[in-house]
């Protein structure tokens, strides 16, 4: 298909189009004088003409049979405005499903309207739903920093929870409500999870572009099904378009920490049956908004930041929700379950009183579930172990309607009298900690493990203490820069990936950063493999080039992308032993010599780091000793952590009167 010359594309975008890695495109640019010249961007992130790139790929046999979608998306991105590109994608979807319709979005520019028509024609030839999903996913990835979406696995879990917790099973169908639907992740999950008839899906979104995309998405999902959908464009708190409507289940992932939510104009609103939400508690306004739209016995599941469970300003409303029996359970999710990924978000599970309300008895319990243990740091796929997490949460929730059901570990029923204190803190971890105390058998196993560590440490001490380390004539050294020039190794610098979107449908690799090293060394991010500048492979030496985190080690395991201030050294095995190189580099004196010494955040000049000049056969002895020294250090760290844990556990047991003589 033809493409306008004014459309710019990045190296990562060219890699997508050609179906190769970004490094391959960089090689083409370096090796072929005919490769298109840069039309914009910077030296680090250059941009090229899409039309010229397409022609070059065709002329050089580099273009695979990928259809027209990859060429289509850069033109949407070139519209510039997030809102216009989103509305254009949504309008394209509408025309794909209604070929005879005309472009209805009057606010679209002539360029956007022309693009909408072309996208609709392409979609009808290559698959309407597949084309829309492709464009929607690319739009979400491009604007990931401006949007907060609900992962499909979490949306499905929330739907299953709501369907399980609600009372009654109406023969007339099911009404689902989401007052802050975004691009429709929760509504889509509800539509896919419920296979009965008479489904009604109602949503509200104040952002016109998001509302249009949600409507388009539901249009495809409900095709050929007896489902009524309606997405209203409005501010649900200030101007409720569904006032008086009652739903069987409500699902919501509301905006967090918004101070301008309508506190002044809504002070006397009838929805605040549990109290006027303070200005600093907008999330509790959303909770009460959801409750006002539930049928008797209906259930709501809402995603909330953890602070809502304990902030002082919201304690009166939390107390009312507990006393009336509306707040049935709180589930602490593992970090990484949804944005922001570094936070352990919570699910609040609410249920409206049935037709014949019975006041909550003083001894009524609330269910608090700590599911943070299902995190998978360093796993290949982002997010927690969703299958195990879902089974755990649904198992714990059985006790809400079956009091005799057993509770899994890390779930606890807390009497209201214990919750209704001066704080009314419903944070699960505060109450489940006691249930996770190690048993006597587990503590005995920990003591045994610590004894094993100490035995191994003693073995290392015996070996290392006998090393001949007397001072001799200083050995000759070479810098990393010298070794690079000599071809003994290749130096690769880590960088921030060109695309910061949350990957979903393509190969990804973990992203290691300096902040990760300062914590526990576990990569917490993931990036598309083709957008990572530097990916280390097994056997590469990784060096942290900042004083506060300076270290060097041989990478073992699957590929990992490196962020800024991290470097990979790829050795020529005929000239250098990787473990010998890493041992030389991580010497503290080496880091001090190559650092700027200005502050702990100062950078280290990797090229100035010194390496002993030894024949390859002599490097082996040093490499083995360096490996043993690293093992000794790792054992010390593990023994220290295990020892501290045992001290704490034994102290808690003693303070509770657990000593038997």
The H or E element containing residue 482 is: helix 480-485
Spatial contact of 347 and 301, defined as CB atoms under 8 Å apart:
yes
Condensed to tens digits (0 to 9), the pLDDT of residues 450-497 reads 888 899 889 888 888 888 776 666 788 899 999 999 889 999 888 876
- Determine the pLDDT at residue 220: 93
The sign of the dihedral angle between the CA atoms of 597, 603, 608, 609 is: positive
Pairing of strands 199-205, 610-612: unpaired
Cα distances (Å, whole numbers) of residue 627 to 30, 323, 506, 623: 39, 60, 36, 6
Q: Which two tokens stand for residue 570?
A: 């790829």
What residues in the chain have per-residue pLDDT under 70?
1-6, 44, 65-67, 99-106, 169-171, 356-363, 377-382, 433-439, 470-473, 497-507, 520, 529-531, 595-601, 661
In this prediction the pTM is: 0.68
- Determine the pLDDT at residue 67: 65
- Determine the pLDDT at residue 507: 54
Burial (CB count within 10 angstroms: exposed 0-12, middle 13-18, buried 19+), residue 363: exposed
- Determine the pLDDT at residue 505: 38
- Determine the pLDDT at residue 3: 47
């Amino acid at each position: 298909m033809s493409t306008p010359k004014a459309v710019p594309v990045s190296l990562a975008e060219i890699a997508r189009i050609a179906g190769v890695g970004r490094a391959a495109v960089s090689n083409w640019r370096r090796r072929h004088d005919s490769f298109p010249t840069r039309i914009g961007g910077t030296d680090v992130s250059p941009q090229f003409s899409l039309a010229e790139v397409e022609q070059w790929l065709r002329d050089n046999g580099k273009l695979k049979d990928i259809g027209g979608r990859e060429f289509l998306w850069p033109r949407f991105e070139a519209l510039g405005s997030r809102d216009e590109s989103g509305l254009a994608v949504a309008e394209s979807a509408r025309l794909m499903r209604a070929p005879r319709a005309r472009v209805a979005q009057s606010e679209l520019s002539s360029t956007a309207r022309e693009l909408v028509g072309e996208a609709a024609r392409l979609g009808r030839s290559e698959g309407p739903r597949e084309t829309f999903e492709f464009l929607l996913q690319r739009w979400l990835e491009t604007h990931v920093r401006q949007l907060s979406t609900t992962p499909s696995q979490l949306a499905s879990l929330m739907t299953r929870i709501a369907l399980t917790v609600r009372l009654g099973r109406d023969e007339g169908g099911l009404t689902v409500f989401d007052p802050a639907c975004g691009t429709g992740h929760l509504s889509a999950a509800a539509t896919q999870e419920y296979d009965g008839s008479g489904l009604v899906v109602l949503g509200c979104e104040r952002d016109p572009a998001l509302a249009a995309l949600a409507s388009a998405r539901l249009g495809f999902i409900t095709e050929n099904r007896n489902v009524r959908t309606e997405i209203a464009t409005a501010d649900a708190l200030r101007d409720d378009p569904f006032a008086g409507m009652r739903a069987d289940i409500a699902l919501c992932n509301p905006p967090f920490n918004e101070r301008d939510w309508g506190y002044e104009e809504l002070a006397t609103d009838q929805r605040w049956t549990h109290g006027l939400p303070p200005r600093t508690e907008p999330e509790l306004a959303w909770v009460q908004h959801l409750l006002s739209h539930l049928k008797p016995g209906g259930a709501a599941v809402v995603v909330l930041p953890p602070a809502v469970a304990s902030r002082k300003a919201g304690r009166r409303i939390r107390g009312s929700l507990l006393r009336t029996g509306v707040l049935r359970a709180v589930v602490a999710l593992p970090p990484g379950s949804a944005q922001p990924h570094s936070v352990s978000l919570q699910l609040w599970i609410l249920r409206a009183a049935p037709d014949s309300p019975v006041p909550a008895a003083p001894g009524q319990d609330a269910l608090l579930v700590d599911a943070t243990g299902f995190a998978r740091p360093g796993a290949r796929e982002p997010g927690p172990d969703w299958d195990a997490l879902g089974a755990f949460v649904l198992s714990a929730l059985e006790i809400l309607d079956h009091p005799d059901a057993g509770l899994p570990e890390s779930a606890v029923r807390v009497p209201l009298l214990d919750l209704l204190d001066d704080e009314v803190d419903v944070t699960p971890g505060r109450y489940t900690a006691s249930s996770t105390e190690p048993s006597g058998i587990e503590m005995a196993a920990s003591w045994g493990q610590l004894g094993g560590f100490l035995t191994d440490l003693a073995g290392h001490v015996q070996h290392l203490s006998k090393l001949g380390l007397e001072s001799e004539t200083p050995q000759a050294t070479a810098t990393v820069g010298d070794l690079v020039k000599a071809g003994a190794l290749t130096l690769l610098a880590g960088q921030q990936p060109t695309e910061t979107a949350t990957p979903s449908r393509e190969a990804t690799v973990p992203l290691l950063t300096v902040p990760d090293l300062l914590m526990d060394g576990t990569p917490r991010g993931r990036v598309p493999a083709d957008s990572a500048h530097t990916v280390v492979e097994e056997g590469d030496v990784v060096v942290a080039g900042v004083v506060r985190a300076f270290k060097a080690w041989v990478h073992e395991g699957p590929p990992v992308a490196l962020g800024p201030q991290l470097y990979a050294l790829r050795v020529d095995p005929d000239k250098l032993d990787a473990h010998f190189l890493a041992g030389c580099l991580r010497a503290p004196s080496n880091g001090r010599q190559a650092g700027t010494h200005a502050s702990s955040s100062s950078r280290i000049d990797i090229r100035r780091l010194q390496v002993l000049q030894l024949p390859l056969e002599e490097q082996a002895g040093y490499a083995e000793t360096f490996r043993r020294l690293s093992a000794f250090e790792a054992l010390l760290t593990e023994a220290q952590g295990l020892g501290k844990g045992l001290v704490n556990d034994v102290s808690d047991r003693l303070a509770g009167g657990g000593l038997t003589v």
